Amino acid sequence: MRRPIIAGNWKMHKTSAEARRLITDLKQLVGGAQVEVVVCPPFTALAAAVAAAAGSNISVGAQDIFWEDEGAYTGEISGPMLKELGCRYCIIGHSERRQYFGETNATVKKKVQAAFRSELTPIVCVGETLAEREAGQTLEVCRRQVEEGLGDLTPEQVARLVVAYEPVWAIGTGKNATGEDAQEAIGYIRERLAAMYGREAADKCRIQYGGSVKPENIAEFMARPDIDGALVGGASLDPISFAAIVNTAAED
């Protein structure tokens, strides 16, 4: 049985003071929920978030990581730094990073290795653009992102990994994928992982859907056999809506 995981990607929102307030509110609303709950604030609010979440069922993740552990890489943040702060997760290869910051499957692969070196659980984002979907390339794009970004792992690492299938056209647009389309892509991703690392590892890997997830549509995704939770952007900035997503997911 895979334990569902609901993660909030705050993107470039919330100061430390705002993060503290949001997590304080969230703790009241999601205490005891039988799903894993993760919040991913900006780097500058991580310390405040870890302190605010202490003693609760909320874990903290970063939104990115650099692939080396230290060195002359101005502006970058490494795995050991995130680990020391108390982070447990790290989003890698979000489509906004691929689109605006030149991330590729090759950099994703190096970052996944770096996260595991520091005992952080990667949440690796994959998904097609609108043009790719319209050209019928959705599964091919996912195949390449999985094979190239998630190569050279051990089956044990794959069993601990989280993948987020996020169609780019669904992110921040209010237009979510249907449960059926998300299941098709996510089931396919699991089959690719099984071909690469074996059935047992693939069956343990948790795969989320992301892209305009809201309290109103989370149940549609949780009802699908291969969907193990959600990566939530906009709706994770409001404690009421994020808690509604968490608590609905916990009911399934």
> Residues interacting with ligand PGA, by CB under 6 A?
9, 166, 171-172, 210-213, 231-235
- In angstroms and rounded to an integer, the radius of gyration of the C-alpha atoms of the chain is 17
In order, the DSSP letters of 10-23 are --S---HHHHHHHH
- Shorter beta-carbon distance to ligand PGA: residue 42 or 233: 233
**What's the closest the beta carbon of residue 233 comes to ligand PGA, in angstroms?**
2
| Helix %, strand %, coil % of the chain (to 5) | 50, 15, 35
**What's the closest the beta carbon of residue 3 comes to ligand PGA, in angstroms?**
20
Q: Which of 96, 128, 166, 220 is catalytic?
A: 166
**What's the closest the beta carbon of residue 107 comes to ligand PGA, in angstroms?**
18
In order, the DSSP letters of 177-209 are PPHHHHHHHHHHHHHHHHHHH-HHHHHHSEEEE
Here the tokens at position 193 are 């992982």
**What's the closest the beta carbon of residue 99 comes to ligand PGA, in angstroms?**
11
Round to whole Å and give the CA distance between 1 and 190. 15
Question: Would you call 94 a catalytic residue per the annotation?
Answer: yes
- Shorter beta-carbon distance to ligand PGA: residue 38 or 235: 235
Residue nearest ligand PGA by beta-carbon distance: 233
Round to whole Å and give the CA distance between 177 and 165. 10
Question: Would you call 166 a catalytic residue per the annotation?
Answer: yes
- Shorter beta-carbon distance to ligand PGA: residue 149 or 233: 233
- Shorter beta-carbon distance to ligand PGA: residue 155 or 172: 172
Which positions are catalytic? 94, 166
